[in-house]
Structure 1
Amino acid sequence: MAAYVDNVAIEWRGNAWCHLVADSLNELHEIARRLGLRHEWFQVSASYPHYDLTAQTRARAIALGVLVGDRRQIIQCARALKDELASVPKPPVQLDLFP
């Protein structure tokens, strides 16, 4: 199993940003934790599940063993993460009709 960063550099709020993906959700969250990323930064509603990283955090991720993925690898992981996320049971929503 592995985690990957892509080579994009999306400029936003004065930083260049890229994406962090992994072979599984557990591995993705574990490497994010090791990088000091908060779980609420997880991009669950994006086109594919990922964390956004600044260029500085990307360099730290690579130093921790995260691989630089090519486009094919990133897309493969993105699809697998999306499928895994879809298979996770969602907790039932309880409506408070009479507060």
Structure 2
Amino acid sequence: MTVYVDDMRANFGRMVMCHMVADTDEELHAMAARIGVARKWHQKPGTSHSHYDICLSKRAHAVNFGAIEIDRRGLADLIQRKRALAQNQEKL
């Protein structure tokens, strides 16, 4: 399972949030379920920007379960790779 968590720190009420993304939505949903994040919080499904916003305590759980920590550049690279893959599949 290849899941990533970025280093964003955005305030949301009393929480501080970051992004959790994955190579596939299946991997993303599996990790979300594993760390206790409801599927209703999934954002931008079916796109290269598919992700969950998760609080830092959930981020720590994801890392403990094998998520890879990335920075903003890593997130942008991942989104670009996913977009290119989707475009290549559309051509087939």
TM class, shorter-chain normalised?
A: 0.7 to 0.9
Aligned residues: 85
Show the counterpart of 1:60: 61
Q: Indicate the structure (1 or 2) with the bigger Cα radius of gyration.
A: 1
Tell me, yes or no, if the aligned pair for 2:5 and 2:69 is still in contact at 8 Å.
yes
Query: TM-score of the superposition, structure 2-length normalised?
Result: 0.77
Runs of 4 or more above 3 Å deviation: none
Q: Indicate how the Cα distance of structure 1 residues 77 and 47 shifts in structure 2: closer, same or farther if over 3 A, else same.
A: closer
Q: 1:76 offset after TM fit, Å? A: 2.9
Percent of aligned pairs with the same residue?
A: 33
Show the counterpart of 2:9: 9
Tell me, yes or no, if the aligned pair for 1:42 and 1:51 is still in contact at 8 Å.
yes
Q: 1:25 offset after TM fit, Å? A: 1.1
Counterparts of 1:59 and 1:39 in 2: how far apart (Å)? 19
Q: Indicate how the Cα distance of structure 1 residues 74 and 42 shifts in structure 2: closer, same or farther if over 3 A, else same.
A: same
Structure 1 unaligned regions, length at least 5:
88-99
